Amino acid sequence: MAKATHNYGSTRSDPDESKPLAEMSSSDHAMDLPTPDTPGLVDFENRFKDPEEKTPLSTRLRKLVRKQTAGCSAKSSVLGVFPIVGILRKYNVKEDLPNDLVAGVTAGVMMIPQGMAFAALSTLPPIVGLYISFFASATYAVMGTGRQVSWGCIAVLSIMMGQILDKYDASVEEDRPAACINGSLVTAAAADAGSNSEDPSDPLTARRMEVASGVTLVAALVVIVASRLGLSRVASLLSNSLITGFTVGIAFHVGTSQFKEILGVPVARQSGIGAIVKTWVEVLKKVPDTNVATLLTSIACILAIYLVKRFINEKYKQKLRVPIPIDLIVAVVATLVTEYARLHDDFDVRVVGNVTTGLPAPKLPDLGLSSSYIGDGLIIAVVAYTQTLALTKTFGLEHNYPVDPAQEMLAAGVVNLVCAVFSGYIAAGSVSRSMVQSGAGGRTQLASLVAAGLVLLVILLAGPYFHYLPKCVLSAIIVVSLRSMMLKLLTVPDMWRRAPLDCAVWVFTCTAVVVLNPDLGLLVSVLLSLLIVVLRSMVGPVAEAGQIQVGGGSLSVEIRSVRGYSAAATSPHAKIVKVKTPVYFVNSEAFVTGVYEKTGIYPLEIRKARKKAEAKSSKDQNSPGTYRKTNGDSAEKNGKLELEAEEDKSMQARHETSPGSSGQCGAALCPLVVLDAAHMAFVDLMGVQALQMVIKEMKSVDVEVLIAALPEGVIPLLKSTGFWAQHGDRLFLSVDAALASRLAAASRKQAESAH
């Protein structure tokens, strides 16, 4: 018969090699198992692993620097930092330009009312939202890799920035009952009134804008440095479930904050734990004072915006070349009606007021004002980057172009740096506008430049025309925009059925953000996510496994956990234990205990039982007139333990009923345990110690432990700790190879003894 060839590094192998152990006879072992020519893991590494270069650290650093700078010509540097250059070099004017123009104008039309509305969420003047929309869109178009992503103000970040400004207002009020600004004394009441001014030239408003810009500047610099250090993977700490739950929780804050404008009643902003409940209490108290004109205007605007978006833009999305810009239409119409019907003068409908024209002068903010809120700003920056990266990857997959997370982080940092210098705050990609820009046919980042140009025209020319824009109209735009977020609540039951843990994170995050506040809710949610990761590695790090013979034209064997695979064959002569998680300091103890439980072999108790049996045997032999023959020696040789039932019933019952144990090892120990380490992604020092403990403890009761399918990444640590040199003969490329090597050795030994 031709010699079987072994498939290294795989649990699949040739048919004769892969028979389940329980079905193999001695003749099978002798004929079909891999011969001694089949190498173990150590032999394999020695034969095929490239020799490691032992070079000084300084030399390695120089090589790393040369590698990083190799090929970094001016051309490649420009193309890397400014992706739009590469886009424009391949730009097809005839095909791409018309689509980008339409998409850019559509997105820009949306930016104007949304930017003003979302800036109001942050308690800053609406013109700030236009500043952010222009500078963020223009800068990202040059540096970003997302071709359909529309940057600017978004509700989530605006409400979080508003809470930072609330903290600043509270600190000013606590520090001094009278605020001294620009040399003039202002009473606390006047300061409070000034904080609500829509005029950027107002001293208190200018100071609050500087606080927001200062927080943004520091956060931007940190993000830029992080991008150069390769820390873009920090976004992996925030899962999609966490981000979605967070945005839905924020939506409750955003919606609650708008009811004072919808009803036209003055309600003090609340902050801290339970802010939503406190706000609703205040709103309900002020319901009798509702401004009827404001309420009717709000209802009319909400209905108009919702009906057009829901029953025209969405329903006929495939037929419409561009969606109807209902937000801008409602804002323009409401402004005209308010001005000519004198709603502001005669019915006290609150309006935006003075909207300055022209771009702000670049200015570095006073970082001393914002030093206490840097941590909050970093949280906002992480949320902004994570949400935008997820959005960019979505469009990259949809339109088949690559997305560079490191470049996206650099772009996010530079965008926010520019916004900070020009009186703005942290920006991000807008989901709704990006979808519209993509649906309108946007091909490249040039669409964002077109949108930025439209916003620039408004800033330079049309600002004063929005003087009579009612604030309740901006609130109506915001409330309708929350619909898509709120609809995500309907996905919870289906998410629970598909992924209970992810659903738990989603619900917990949303609840924490609503009950606590956005930054604290996000923090505890991240901690919960990390805790779940740790608990997953602690609970059930190992499982008893067996062999499943599958086939068709070519038979093979797969290793699967016994739990859930009743067809998985086990053997009384060997136990296969699948290591399902990394083995490190968190779960090293659970790993050791798990191996004992899944094999049904508890070395400490077995040694105690043996000593007890030996003591009893010795006592019986030394008793006068009494002789009792025992088989302790043969049990020791064969790796079996036979105990009289009355000796230790409790321990035997534990062996027979231990989870994952077949009960066969309670009386006769399995001589071989194979650890399938294919999923053991990494180990640390405590993990190596746990492996050594399992080997040592099992050896003390005559059970051999082999380790199979070790990932390549764990080998260096095994070598550096001495585990490789000490236990190299126990390491194999696959479970098949480990089982076959010992069975072949046993067969040869049996054949030699027969001769």
> In the prediction, which pLDDT does 717 show?
92
Sign of the Cα torsion 137, 142, 144, 148 reads positive
Helix axes 240-263, 518-538, angle to 10 degrees: 160
pLDDT band of 232, cuts 50, 70, 90: confident
Q: What is the mean pLDDT of residues 136-158?
A: 92
Give the per-residue pLDDT at 685. Answer: 94
Residue 137's CB: how many other CB atoms inside 10 A?
34
Q: What is the mean pLDDT of residues 129-136?
A: 95
Average pLDDT over residues 331-342: 93
pLDDT (mean) for 68-76: 56
pLDDT at 362: 93
Phi/psi class of residue 498: alpha, beta or left (left: φ > 0; alpha: ψ in -120 to 50)?
A: alpha
Q: Where are the alpha helices (DSSP H) in 371-439?
A: 374-399, 405-421, 431-439
Tell me the sheet residues that pair with 546: 560
**Sign of the CA dihedral 442, 444, 447, 450?**
negative
Flag whether pLDDT at 660 surpasses 70.
no
User: Which range in 61-70, 73-82, 221-230 is most confidently predicted, on average pLDDT?
Assistant: 221-230
Q: Write b or e for each residue in 252-275: b if 16 or more Cβ atoms lie within 10 A of its Cβ, otherwise e.
A: bbbbbbbbbbbbbbebebbbeeeb
Q: Is residue 183 over pLDDT 60?
A: no
Judge whether residue 701 has pLDDT over 80: yes
> Alpha-carbon distance 411 to 145, whole Å?
9
Identity of the residue numbered 195 = S
First-residue to last-residue Cα distance in the chain:
23
The Cα 11–Cα 174 span in angstroms is: 68
Pair 678, 709: CB distance under 8 Å: yes
User: Residue 291: what pLDDT?
Assistant: 94
The residue written with tokens 């053991």 in the block is: 680
Range 376-395 average pLDDT: 88
Query: Which pairing describes strands 704-708 and 731-732: parallel, antiparallel, or unpaired?
Result: parallel
Q: Compute CA distances 575 → 177, 641, 699, whole Å.
A: 76, 17, 15
d(CA 733, CA 48): 13
For residue 567, what pLDDT is reported? Answer: 75
| Burial (CB count within 10 angstroms: exposed 0-12, middle 13-18, buried 19+), residue 754 | exposed
Give this prediction's pTM. 0.72
CB 384 within 8 A of CB 518: no
Dihedrals phi, psi of 640, to nearest 5 degrees: -115, 155
| 77 band by pLDDT with thresholds 50, 70 and 90 | low
The predicted pLDDT at position 36 comes to: 46
CB-based contact 201:116 (threshold 8 Å): no
Q: In Å, how far from its chain's centre is CA 372?
A: 28
Mean of the pLDDT values across residues 170-179?
A: 66
Whether residue 504 contacts residue 523, with contact meaning beta carbons closer than 8 Å, is answered with no
Alpha helix segments (H runs only) across 176-265: 188-195, 203-228, 240-263
Percent of the chain with pLDDT over 90: 35
What is the C-alpha to C-alpha distance for residues 375 and 452, in angstroms, rounded to an integer? 30
Q: Cβ(326)–Cβ(382) under 8 Å? A: no
Q: Which residues contact 704 (CB under 8 A, 6 or more apart)?
A: 671, 672, 673, 698, 730, 742
15-25: average pLDDT? 42
pLDDT value of position 60 = 67
pLDDT at 39 over 70: no
Helices 155-175 and 93-121 pack at an angle, to 10 degrees, of 30
pLDDT beyond 70 at 225:
yes
pLDDT(286) > 50: yes
**Average of pLDDT values for 205-216?**
92
Contact 214/168 with Cβ under 8 angstroms? no
Model confidence pLDDT, tens digit, residues 430-468 = 888 888 888 888 889 999 999 999 999 999 988 888 889
151 within 8 A of 140, measured Cβ to Cβ: yes
Phi first, then psi: what are they for 546, rounded to 5°? -145, 180
pLDDT band at 548 (very low <50, low <70, confident <90, very high): confident
Single-letter amino acid, residue 239: S
Is the pLDDT at 73 greater than 60? The verdict is no
Inter-residue contact 528 to 645 (CB < 8 Å): no
Tell me if residue 611 falls in helix, strand or coil.
helix
User: Does pLDDT of 6 surpass 80?
Assistant: no
The top-scoring range by mean pLDDT among 29-43, 197-211, 737-751 is 197-211
Task: Indicate the range of 148-157, 516-525, 655-664 predicted with least confidence.
Answer: 655-664
How do residues 496-525 score in pLDDT, each as one tens digit? Answer: 999 998 999 999 999 999 998 887 888 899
Q: What per-residue confidence (pLDDT) applies to 68? A: 56
Q: Give the pLDDT of residue 317.
A: 82
- With tokens 């955003």, the residue in question is 254
Share of the chain above pLDDT 70, in %: 79
Q: Give the pLDDT band (50/70/90) at residue 14.
A: very low
Residues in the chain: 755
Supply the mean pLDDT for the chain: 80
pLDDT digits (tens, 9 = 90+) for 308-325: 999 998 888 888 877 888
pLDDT exceeds 90 at position 726: yes
Mean pLDDT is lowest, of 111-120, 249-258, 397-406, 739-748, for 739-748
* Domains in the chain: ranges and CATH: 21-47+540-620+632-754 (3.30.750.24), 84-533 (no CATH)
DSSP character for 698?
Answer: H
Q: Cα–Cα distance between 149 and 84 in angstroms, integer? A: 13
Predicted pLDDT of residue 23: 44
Q: How confident is the model at residue 647 (pLDDT cuts 50, 70, 90)?
A: very low
Split at pLDDT 50, 70, 90, the class of 530 is: confident
Q: Select the more confidently predicted residue: 746 or 670.
A: 670
Predicted local distance difference test score (pLDDT) of residue 696: 94
Q: Check if the beta carbon of residue 733 is closer than 8 Å to that of residue 9.
A: yes
- The per-residue pLDDT for 721 is 92
CA distance 506 to 555: 44
Question: ∠ CA(581), CA(585), CA(590), 5° rounding?
Answer: 60
| 531 pLDDT higher than 60 | yes
Helices 240-263 and 292-308, interaxial angle, to 10°? 140
pLDDT at 704: 92
Q: Rounded to an integer, what distance in angstroms lies between the CA atom of residue 282 and that of residue 284?
A: 5
- What per-residue confidence (pLDDT) applies to 533? 83
From CA 589, how far away is CA 538, in angstroms rounded? 9
CA-CA distances (angstroms) from residue 410 to 51, 64, 154, 415?
37, 22, 20, 9
* Residue 310 DSSP class: I
306 vs 311, 313, 647, CA distance in Å? Answer: 8, 10, 79
**Is a pLDDT exceeding 50 seen at residue 634?**
no
Q: State pLDDT tens for residues 569-622.
A: 777 778 899 999 899 998 999 999 999 999 989 999 999 988 988 888 887 776
Partners of 731 in the β-ladder? 707
Structure tokens given for 146: 């997302």
Band (pLDDT 50/70/90 cuts) for residue 391 is confident
* Separation between Cα atoms, residue 126 and residue 458, nearest integer Å: 12
Pair 640, 572: CB distance under 8 Å: no
Tell me what the mean pLDDT of segment 718-723 comes to: 92
Q: What is residue 136's predicted lDDT score, i.e. its pLDDT? A: 96
DSSP string of 48-111? HSPPPP---HHHHHHHHHHHHHTT--HHHHHHHH-HHHHHHHT--HHHHHHHHHHHHHHHHHHH
Strand partners, 152: 428
pLDDT at res. 289? 92
